[in-house]
Amino acid sequence: MLRIANCSGFYGDRLSAAREMVEGGPVDVLTGDYLAELTMLLLWKARQRDPDAGYALSFLAQMRDVLGTCLERGIKVVVNAGGLNPAGLAHSLRELASAAGLAPRVAHLEGDDLMPRLAELRAAGEDLAHLGTGRPLAGAGVEPVTANAYLGAWGITTALRAGADVVICGRVTDASLVVGPAAWAYDWALDDWDRLAGAVAAGHVIECGAQATGGNFSFFTEIPDPVRPGFPIAELHEDGTSVITKHPGTGGAVTTETVTAQLLYEIEGPQYLGPDVVTRFDTVALTQEGPDRVRIAGATGEPAPERLKVCVNYRGGYRNSATFALEGLETRAKARFAEASLLDAVGGRERFADFDARLSPAGDRLTVTVKDADRDAVGRAFFAAVAGTGLSGYPGLHLEHASPRATEYGVHWPALVAASAVRPEVVLDDGTRLAVPEPPREPFRRDGRVYGSVTAHDDPLVRVPLGTLAGARSGDKGGDANLGVWARNEKTWRWLGWYLTVDRLRELLPETAGLDVERHWLPNLRAVNFVVRGLLGDGVAASTLADPQAKALGERLRAVQVEVPAGLLGAGAKVKDHALPTEGQSAGQDRA
């Protein structure tokens, strides 16, 4: 058994987690995930101020606490904290270790950064076309500032096989931090698809830290000590199965539901594409083996796809916003008044490249966001217009936020590149460079797997929030929102799978109307997963939404009042069989 512990789910996560994981019980590998699409842009900005920057500084602080203990106990450290400068972080870690009288073998992984090779790739026909629009980057009239391919696990495996104590990566997939050590420990082959898929499932569960142990969990009031949940551990076995757990005596909980919630996080269809394997999430089965122990088994894998995902960011311009508080009576009329007054003051919507006025769900706040290439237009000029309406506006006008300072924003451009065009290498302490082996690859094909029927209930209907019966977890992938919804028991699932269609989602969440929405069915998890294309615009850095990463989309859905069979709220429900709507019968997917 290989114990892989996570100590970070994002850049800014709990700093003490590394020490808690190393000192809290036995572990074999310490991993940390520090990168997101937005993080790459933030690290680029840091590197503009200091060319030696571009990596997660918090990782060095964590290593001050635990590096000596890790070396003493033989605990390997594998992280993606290298960001845009893994070589720089490796150098800084060696300096930190030397000052403490330590001499770890530090390796880092290169090859994900495609910026120096953009002209070469374009000449070879790799135009990094946008995944949503198909538009080639070369013809988009933008200059990227970051372009990083998502590497897989075999670079990590190669570094560990070469004797590294610490492996520092840049942009690898989050799950690779688990897959790489597992493949090293068990000497898996490049085409051990099912074992690799099992490790991907385990890696996906623990990659976001305490989200697997009760964090961001729909039923948080049921979690013991939710304030400081323990970070997760994946006990990997040679056959690719795993048990998700945490150190004894730590807060939070590991249950089939907390694990389900994280499995559903930011995925799309049942076939989960990674650089090393396509994992079938619809084959994954969860079993509660005991307190805080959930077994993941049954995962099957398919050959690695021929193309890798690429995270591109470019400078979008400048933005600013003002938030008007709306109190008392006629708040919606006040919002219209505020917007009209502001448009009159600035000279109309056409004054800016983008003018967005958005009322909060409660109707008590109006946020106006403007974006433009002209910093002064969205900075001082916009602020002056907002201030100028102060005594001539709606009754009770006051501002929650307004600033004369515009901020630069970036735009995320998701793309694909041929795996054969990416050349990852492991760099050892002495400068030796090791090529990373490539798995056999095949063109990805979405299968036509057919699922069975679910049931609708014949009981009298009662009106309750959907969240009474179902949990949800939501997030972002660039401009798309992902929303997974699971039923708490089998009886409810056989209603939820029938009830929660694409059309129903649009009815319950009006912001999804008019957008391309996919529904994917995951019966083993008693869940459906929705992908809402374009809900978040150009991604978190450019989005004008109050919730730009769709973190609360699932909770908004759970709060909606729906009519449910009364029997689902108690015992003795009567049911009758209904097939799923025809649109959902192939590939477990609805699309509209």
| Secondary structure element (H or E) that encloses residue 23, with its range | helix 17-23
What's the pLDDT score for residue 591? 57
**By C-alpha distance, which of 443, 446, 445, 427 is closest to 435?**
427
Biggest CA–CA distance in the chain, Å, is: 73
Confidence category of residue 575, pLDDT binned at 50, 70, 90: very low
Please count the CA atoms within 13 angstroms of the CA of 320 that sit on its side-chain side. 23
Q: What are the start-end ranges of the E strands in 291-393?
A: 293-297, 300-302, 304-305, 307-325, 354-359, 365-372
| pLDDT, tens digit (0-9, with 9 covering 90-100), for 150-168 | 999 999 999 999 999 999 9
Whether pLDDT at 190 is above 50? yes
pLDDT at position 119: 93
Residue 582 has pLDDT above 50, yes or no: no
SS3 annotation, 48-111: HHCCCCCCCHHHHHHHHHHHHHHHHHCCEEEECCCCCCHHHHHHHHHHHHHHCCCCCCEEEEEC
Q: CA-to-CA distance for 27 and 24, rounded, in angstroms?
A: 9
pLDDT at 585: 35
| pLDDT surpassing 60 at residue 441 | yes
pLDDT-based confidence at residue 546 (cuts at 50, 70, 90):
confident
Phi-psi domain of 131 (left: phi exceeds 0; alpha: psi -120 through 50; beta: other) = alpha
Average pLDDT over residues 196-217: 98
The pLDDT score that the predictor gives to residue 574 is 41
Question: Which pLDDT score is estimated for 581?
Answer: 37
Span 31-78, pLDDT tens digits: 999 999 889 999 999 999 999 999 999 999 999 999 999 999 999 999
- Tell me the backbone φ, ψ of residue 411, rounded to 5 degrees: -120, 135
Distance CA 322, CA 338 (A): 11
The pLDDT of residue 448: 64
- Rounded to whole angstroms, how far apart are CA atoms 205 and 208? 7
3-class DSSP assignment, residue 413: strand
pLDDT at 212 over 90: yes
| Cβ-contact 88, 373 below 8 angstroms | no
Q: Does residue 443 carry a pLDDT above 80?
A: yes
Distance separating alpha carbons of residues 319 and 406, to the nearest angstrom:
5
Task: Give the residue-averaged pLDDT of 239-259.
Answer: 98
Q: Tell me how far CA of residue 128 lies from CA of 151, 174, 269, 312, in angstroms.
A: 16, 22, 23, 9
Rounded-to-integer distance, Cα 572 and Cα 197, Å: 39
Residue 580, pLDDT > 50, answer: no
Position 573 scores a pLDDT of 38
- The answer to whether the CB of 371 falls within 8 A of the CB of 410 is no
Question: Going edge to edge, which strands form the sheet with 589-591?
Answer: 470-477, 480-487, 527-532, 517-522, 589-591
Decide the pairing of beta strands 293-297 and 300-302: unpaired
Residue keyed to tokens 């300072």: 405
pLDDT at 141: 87
Average pLDDT over residues 301-310: 97
Query: CA 512 to CA 533: how far, in whole Å?
Result: 9
pLDDT in tens, 317-357: 999 999 999 999 999 999 999 999 999 999 999 999 999 99
For residue 446, name the pLDDT band (cuts at 50, 70, 90). confident
How big, in percent rounded to 5, are the helix, strand and coil portions of the chain? 30, 30, 40
Residue 11 has pLDDT above 80, yes or no: yes
Instruction: Look at residue 99 in the predicted model and tell me its pLDDT.
Output: 98
> Across-strand partners of 463?
563
**pLDDT of 131 over the 60 cut:** yes
Average pLDDT of every residue of the chain: 93
Strand partners, 531: 482, 518
Q: What are phi and psi of 546, to 5 degrees?
A: -65, -25
Domains, the chain, ordered by start:
2-112+150-302 (no CATH), 311-411 (3.30.70), 454-591 (no CATH)
> By percentage, how much of the chain surpasses pLDDT 70?
95
Q: What is the per-residue pLDDT for 503? A: 96
CB 451 within 8 A of CB 590: no
User: Residue 412: which H helix or E strand, with range?
Assistant: strand 407-418
The pLDDT confidence band at residue 542, using thresholds 50, 70 and 90, is confident
Contact 491, 573 (CB under 8 A): yes
CA gap 366, 400 in Å, rounded: 10
Q: Evaluate whether 29 touches 3 at the Cβ level (below 8 Å).
A: yes
What percent of the chain stands above pLDDT 90? 89
Report d(CA 236, CA 368) in Å as an integer.
49
How many angstroms separate the Cα of 392 from the Cα of each of 325, 335, 341?
15, 14, 8
Among candidate residues 72, 80, 69, the one with its CA nearest the CA of residue 22: 69
Where residue 557 falls among pLDDT bands split at 50, 70, 90? very high
Q: What pLDDT shows up at residue 361?
A: 85
| Average pLDDT of the segment spanning 2-23 | 98
pLDDT at 584 exceeding the cut of 60: no
- Output the six-digit token pair for 497: 């799978």
Tokens standing for residue 539 = 């991604």
| Paired sense of beta strands 454-457 and 232-236, if any | unpaired
Look at residue 539 in the predicted model and tell me its pLDDT.
Answer: 85
* Range 22-26 average pLDDT: 98
- pLDDT for the residue numbered 451: 65
Alpha carbon distances (Å) from 412 to 34, 152, 266, 337, 418: 18, 21, 16, 34, 19
